[in-house]
Amino acid sequence: MVVPYLIYNQYQHSQRFWQQENDAVLEWHRATTATELQQVLAQAPKNQRMIIDVYADWCVACRPIEQQVLTSSTVKQALAEFYLIKLDLSHYDASHQALLNQWEILGPPTFLFLDARQQEIRSLRLTGAFNESTLLNQLQQLQTTQESSP
């Protein structure tokens, strides 16, 4: 009776360890205002492709993306090579409307895909709810776009 318990206990421990390692892979740079977004963009490594996740705590359509799509190990692995930014619109700030207008964003959830020159590739933009395969497809297209440009 002790042996199965020990094996199960080791299994649980290894799963927690693996999950913690998997969670630690992605670093999201957070911005809550237009000024913070500009600072985060300025701090980005040169020639690094970026993804901006526009979300808010009150956004009902954002929850499945945050809780299911972005927690997928396949998605985490695909996102690992990009500079990741979370633009949090949870607490309204006067700069938010100007930011939404500047980037032509209707509201959350929106994913923006930026090339190495910090220019959005508009054809890849995701607005509204989407699933894991849709995001993975956009990430693959972002890589293809980058590899084919000079």
Decide if pLDDT at 37 tops 70.
Answer: yes
d(CA 119, CA 114): 5
Mean pLDDT, residues 25-54 taken together: 93
Reported as a single tens digit per residue, the pLDDT across 123-133 is: 999 999 999 99
Token couple for 58 = 């009150």
Please give the full DSSP string across 37-91, using - where no structure is assigned: HHHHHHHSPTT--EEEEEE-TT-TTHHHIIIIITT-HHHHHHHTTSEEEEEE-SS
The model's pLDDT over 56-110, given as tens digits with 9 standing for 90+, comes to 999 999 999 999 999 999 999 999 989 999 999 999 888 899 999 999 999 999 9
> In the structure, what pLDDT confidence band is assigned to residue 147 with cuts at 50, 70 and 90?
low
Quick one: which of 91, 87, 85, 132 has its CA closest to 105?
Answer: 87
Model pLDDT for residues 114-123, shown as the tens digit of each residue: 999 999 999 9
Burial of 87 (0-12, 13-18, 19+ CB in 10 A): buried
Q: How high is the pLDDT of residue 7?
A: 55
Q: CA neighbours within 13 Å on the CB side: how many for 142? A: 29
- What is the reported pTM? 0.80
Report the C-alpha gap between 127 and 59 in whole angstroms: 13
- Residue 10, Cα to own-chain centre: how many angstroms? 32
Residue 30 forms beta bridges with which residues?
86
Q: What's the length of the chain?
A: 150
What would the 3-class secondary structure string for 98-125 be?
HHHHHHCCCCCCEEEEECCCCCECHHHC
CA 5 to each of CA 1, 11, 16, 143: distance values in angstroms, whole numbers, following the listed order: 7, 10, 16, 46
